[in-house]
Amino acid sequence: MSGSIPFYQKQHRHYDRGYRSKEVGSAVSQYQSSSSSSYAIHSRASASRSASRGLSASYSGLEESRLSPIPKRAKPTHLAMDKENQIIGYVVPIFRGSQEYASGLSDTEEARMKESAGYMARRNLFTSGLEMERTEQTSRKVSMRQSAEHISLSKRIYENEEYHKCMNEDSLMHAPEFVIKPRSHTVWEKQCVRLHCTVSGWPDPRVVWYKNNVTIDPMARPGKYKLQSSYNVHSLQIDRCDFDDTAQYHVSAMNSSGELSTFASVVVKRFKGEVDETLPMPRHGIVSEYGITFETHIVDGFGVSFGREGETMSLGAMVIISPNLARYQPEVQWYRDDVLLQPSKWCQMHWSGDKATLTLTHLNKEDEGLYTLRITTKTKYETYSAYVFVRDADAEVEGAPGAPLDVTCQDANKDYVIVTWKQPAVDGGNSILGYFVDRCEVGTTHWSQCNDTPIKFARFPVTGLVEGRSYTFRVRAVNKSGMSRPSRTSEVVAAMDPADRARMRGTSAPWTGQIIVTEEEPAEGVVPGRPKELEVAEATKNYVVLSWKPPGERGHEGIMYYVEKCVSGTDSWQRVNTEIPVKSPRYALFDLAEGKAYRFRVRCCNSAGVSEPSEATEATTVGDKLDIPSAPGRVVPTRNTATSVVVSWEASRNAKELVGYYIEASIVGSKKFEPCNNKPVKTTRFICHGLVTGESYVFRVKALNAAGLSECSQESEAIEVKAAIASPTPPYGISILECVRDSMVLAWKQPTFIGGADITGYFVDYREVINGVPGKWHEANVKAVSDRAYRVSDLKENRKYQFQVRAANMAGVGIPSLPSETFICEEWTIAVPGPPHDLQVTEVRANTLVLLFKPPVYQGRDPVNGFYIDIKEADAEEEAWRGVNEKAISTNYMKIKILKEGETYVFRVRAQNKAGVGKASEPTEPVLAETKPGTTEIVVDIDDDGVISMNFACSNLTPDSKFVWSKNYKEITDETRITVATSGEKSKAIFNMPAEDDIGIYSCAVTHTNGESSSYTLSAEELRKLLEISHDHKFPIIPLKTELAVELQEKGRVRFWLQAEKISANGKIQYVFNDNTLSQGEKYKMNFNKETGVIEMIMESLLQEDEGTFTFQLQDGKATNQSSLVLIGEVFKQLQKESEFMCKEWHRKQGPHFVEYLSYEVTPECCVFLKCKVGNIKKETVALWYKDGREVKGDGNLTFTEGVLNLEIAQISKRDAGVYEIVMKDDRGKDTSTLNLTEQGFRDLMNEMFSHIAKSSTALKIQSTEEGIRLYSFVSYYNEALQVTWHHKDSAIAFTDRIKSGVVGEQLWLQITEPTEKDKGKYAIEFHDGKGGLKRTVELAGQAFDDAYAEFQRLKAAAIAERNRARVAGGLPDVVTIQELKALNLTCNISGDPVPEVVWLKNEREIVSDDHYIMKFESGKYASFTITTVNTTDSGKYSILVKNKYGTESADFTISVFSPDSKK
């Protein structure tokens, strides 16, 4: 495959198949770190033995990387050659001697893989290992002897030299001298470079490195610079070079005899093509600075992320640095595609002390790429990487293309700039017609379009800029559907001469990044020489870019240039920039005729004059010379993870200025391709993420450059998305289960990552440890063992051994585990049992889990009779262990129900026998008590055939997942009682013949998932219920909501019906009458509503032959049911009669008819209304009222809304009794309604009225009168026919002269004259209404009687006094007018007993009888007042006053006397 892979795809977990998951990366890194520390003590002792062993197996990958001999190879050359094999420089090897980053695997991992392959190969060989061991022992002895002699000789030489130096120190002192000087280097960006020199001098010189005369401090930028000194060889290593590293470096050596310096330059260039070399990174060796060694761990990192343009995305990771110093801050850096990110409006960085966060405030496709977090401390740095994908935002116009990306400005000059961009991956379904470039002057918000017509080339020269002003640019794509969204704006660019721009920036190197060394001082007043190496750097149909090099001869002042052109074939040169010469050695020409050929040349000028022209260029035809790249070659997808695929392809052939590739994916059969990346990638390998697990995809690739996108490559072969298979990681936790004199039983834990395939077995190795020195590894088993426990035999008693275990799957044998602790092979004699082993946790929920374990291998003195489970929080101390069960359990499993949600626990198991409780097992891994989303449980189901099954579904299956069913947590392998069937994401365990033998706990676990499992307990009671339901399913009955019933419908039709509770659309119904099957016809209408389950049969009428039994027979599959209805005898006759009546009623209602027949209503006011309700009336319909055959006037007005007619009888009496009739008729017919209000009918009416009267009556009240005591009640209306009865002490009162009753208006009363003590008691008035009647009662006794009686006495006395008091009965006028001298006589009647006294008054003074006033009172009845001769003095107010013992009364009159004269 052509093309190379950038370093970040080889070294980061995102691209390395060996690090396809975080679990694998974590396990391998832990293993490597622990392996390094574990074997550091053995490296020195192993060095001599390993020197002569060649490729023999080592103790670990770390030992092999240190001690394995380097194979012989040709001596490397350090001379740099060009294409013609000419020497152009000296190359220093980068990280010479370090192979850590030469491949995707470290030395340790690579060595272990080789060692694993060696073990597999040796198992297949039949050669004896004895001779090989003897050869290795001989080689080891020779190597040790040679090494010891070499060390001894070197030591004697060194001591001899030091001795002579001390003896004659002055003669040896001399100034520093550079034996080998550092050489200048030109390197590509992101590579590393090493400057080194050899210095001699005595005393040893002190060497200091400088960059641009500034001392280099490696601690200022950890990981950037690395200084080394060894045996007078000094080196400066610069990692990850960038443009800032372009500078002059010098090294200074100084001692007491003098100082000397030498210089070297480093030029960093950016390569436009594909970089073949990978970038080695600094070794992670621990360097202690200031006595502190920092350890850095990045946890909870960000994964592969997906976003959309315009959204905000945050990437973050927790960082643990130990030791944790309060004020120490590490250097936190973020990279995108290995380019350091700086804070801007597009990205913001935050460091909280333990978490690093990068926020992308407004996603654009430019933000897509590999993001790397780098944490640098004083001693090392750690990195973490993941890819971010950015999809196009929704188009503003449907079908419009995606926005262009990476808009940049090149060749900016004082009046033009060349804008470049990259084409989008999404064209909206239609080819892109071209692009529009917009510009905006900084400080304004107005965007102006730069081109009138769309351009297809992804480069465009924008002219008409104003010198000195700054601009930003953006690009939009267009197809026939519409315009895309605008791209992200470019960086701000100023319209000015490039030389002025460089001078303003203060850079020491021109734009090419080269260091220009001037060999001679420029002379003043010298005409500059010709420009050199003029060439056409770029040519399109819109512009041509020229570039050249400045002349060697020039004056003190700066030089400028004139550009000239001429049409090819002529010698007519025309100056292009006539007004202002250019200052930079690069110029763009516009307004050239497309298709014509031109030649160009350049002149230099300064104040001394204009130089001769440069050599003219070859003829250049104006037009696009860049062709669209050819389609990429063969596309090969390979499995990577459960949601990603690695896609590789062959590069486009002869592609010029290739920008990158777009990869597209399509689900097989859909024919719809979606882009996998929205930012072009330059490599020929890419990982496509975000795919659906289990789906099959095909891929294709397109190449692009500025000219456009290529044709699509051929589609790849279809590949199913699932995780790739790798060898498993090492097992761990090796422990001893039993030990006898010549064998030991080992146990270990399953690897944390099994490689995506089931583990097929384990291989155990052992070695003897003598005096702390481990020996050679030996195989304990040739054939793999499936259990995680194995007995290693043929050991020697009281010897020490170490063990290691390898796991194998279909991908191969994994790397070995770390060596175990050193165990002594001696027989156990303890009485208690050994530790249980192989603890497994399953069915984890928020509050429960199931713990499985295996019994101990070593039983002790007596058999094991139980187990105890211990629990503690994962972060708790050892003292926190506590028991779960108080009584020992006999099973090898237990469901623990005492968990708290969110807590993390560990568990262990202890076995007991008669002697006691033995040693605890190794604890489990920490388990978080939580119910994971999507967790399902086993569901018991009984199908239509009565088959009982347990069903379990899992939505998180991987391609290699399997359902494993167990009974009492032992896998079911015998299908005698249980049959297992699996389909897709569901599995069921079917009971063949359910019985008591099937009682137990059934569980189902899904392999290759994150612990998906569940269990179901089948008890005896549960089995009984299931068998009952199964029987109902085997012999099913169609359930009925209602049995067969009959009802009458309109026109007297007869409906037989029933409703089934559940019946399918395939159900069949058979209708039977007296054992004869009925069929659809004129007499019988059948209907079956499959949605509601209602089954009915309708008959128009019932005839005599229809008497019998009706039956509905139902069948649905094998389920049946029937229901019958017997219609015989009186039941049939009554139904037939009702049917005939309803038929007649229907015919009656075809014309005007009574909806409600004539009836009466008595109102609370005791008014009687005869009323009826009619229907189907029209304007011509009339109503006639009759009483006893004679028409009466009633309410004949018919309303179409209510249809109610009334006849009011206001005060009903016996004369209103009779037969009332109303007739409704029109041209459609007539209807009659009659109401009999005679005899009983009338009595009922009156009783209803009496009931209203009774209800309106008030409570009985007591009233005292002068005759006695009166009881009374008021009613709202009184009718003379009302019958009431008065009761005294619950007995009807016999009326006498003393006790009477009567009615006054609406008052009913009972009068008790001269009441006595016998009249006390309860009184009641009873209203008779022909039913129960109504009573009103009052208690006339006690205080009520006393008060009434006292009031009676008072009223009686007052009446007597009123009758006997003195009274003036009448006869006196109010005014008497009389003539003077006349006589006046007034007489009045006086009453009273006794006879009253009479007194006459004048003007309120008593008058005495004399001759003038004569007053008489005769017979005690008549009083007279006489004035014999009236005179004027008699005028005045007169009164008569009568009085006796009962009272006094007076009468007034006025006498007016006039004289005749005065009247005249």
| pLDDT exceeds cutoff 90 at 1072 | yes
Whole-number pLDDT of residue 1021:
93
Each residue's pLDDT tens digit, 1349-1370: 898 888 888 888 888 888 888 7
3-class secondary structure, 274 = coil
Owner of token pair 């392809």: 649
Count of beta carbons in the 10 Å neighbourhood of residue 991: 22
Backbone phi, then psi, for 288, in 5-degree steps?
Answer: -85, 120
Question: How, if at all, do strands 1334-1340 and 963-967 pair?
Answer: unpaired
How confident is the model over 912-938, as a mean pLDDT? 93
Identify the CA nearest to 110 among candidates 39, 180, 60, 153: 60
| pLDDT exceeds cutoff 60 at 83 | no
Each residue's pLDDT tens digit, 24-49: 444 434 444 444 443 333 433 333 33
| Least confident stretch, 52-56, 327-331, 678-682, 867-871 | 52-56
Mean pLDDT, the chain, whole residue set: 82
Measured CA distances, 1441 to 313, 852, 1197 (Å): 121, 130, 74
Whole-number pLDDT of residue 515:
42
Angle at 88 between CA 84 and CA 90, to 5 degrees: 130
| pLDDT exceeds cutoff 80 at 17 | no
Whole-number pLDDT of residue 505:
57
Q: Residue 917: which pLDDT band, with cuts at 50, 70 and 90?
A: very high
Each residue's pLDDT tens digit, 547-579: 888 887 766 567 888 999 999 888 889 888 877
Whole-number pLDDT of residue 1363:
83
| pLDDT exceeds cutoff 90 at 1015 | yes
Tell me the torsion sign for CA atoms 1017, 1022, 1024, 1027.
negative
The string of DSSP letters for 928-941 reads E----TT----EEE
Measured CA distances, 442 to 192, 418, 491, 1038 (Å): 39, 18, 11, 83
Each residue's pLDDT tens digit, 800-856: 999 999 999 888 888 999 999 999 999 999 999 999 999 999 999 999 999 999 999
Cis peptide bond upstream of 774, omega within 30: no
| Least confident stretch, 20-34, 913-927, 1117-1131 | 20-34
Q: Residue 516: which pLDDT band, with cuts at 50, 70 and 90?
A: very low
Identify the CA nearest to 1401 among candidates 1363, 1448, 1365, 1447: 1448
Whole-number pLDDT of residue 856:
93
3-class secondary structure, 804 = strand
Each residue's pLDDT tens digit, 1140-1159: 888 888 888 888 888 888 89
Count of beta carbons in the 10 Å neighbourhood of residue 603: 19
| pLDDT exceeds cutoff 50 at 1455 | yes
| Least confident stretch, 92-101, 522-531, 688-697 | 92-101
Burial class of residue 404 in the structure, from the number of CB atoms within 10 Å of its CB (0-12 exposed, 13-18 middle, 19+ buried): buried
Cβ atoms of 822 and 769 within 8 Å: the answer is yes
How confident is the model over 355-364, as a mean pLDDT? 93
| pLDDT exceeds cutoff 80 at 110 | no
DSSP assigned state of 876: S
Identify the CA nearest to 1219 among candidates 1196, 1189, 1249, 1184: 1189
CB neighbour list of residue 645: distance below 8 Å, 6 or more residues apart: 637, 638, 639, 665, 687, 688, 691, 697, 699, 719, 721
Q: What predicted TM-score, i.e. pTM, was given to this entire model?
A: 0.46
| pLDDT exceeds cutoff 50 at 517 | no
Identify the CA nearest to 20 among candidates 790, 877, 646, 810: 646
Each residue's pLDDT tens digit, 113-125: 555 545 444 444 4
Burial 58-77 (b: 16+ CB within 10 A, else e): bbbbbbbbbbbeeeeeeeee
Whole-number pLDDT of residue 1246:
86
Burial class of residue 1253 in the structure, from the number of CB atoms within 10 Å of its CB (0-12 exposed, 13-18 middle, 19+ buried): buried
Residue type present at position 842: T
Cβ atoms of 1073 and 1121 within 8 Å: the answer is no
Instruction: Locate all alpha helices (DSSP H) within 1234-1280, ordered by sequence.
Output: 1240-1256
Each residue's pLDDT tens digit, 1198-1241: 544 567 888 888 888 888 889 999 888 888 888 898 999 888 88
Owner of token pair 């205080």: 1343
What distance in Å separates the CA atoms of residue 469 and residue 492, rounded to the nearest whole number? Answer: 10
| pLDDT exceeds cutoff 60 at 314 | yes
Q: Residue 779 has which token pair?
A: 């195989």
Whole-number pLDDT of residue 432:
92
Angle at 223 between CA 221 and CA 226, to 5 degrees: 95
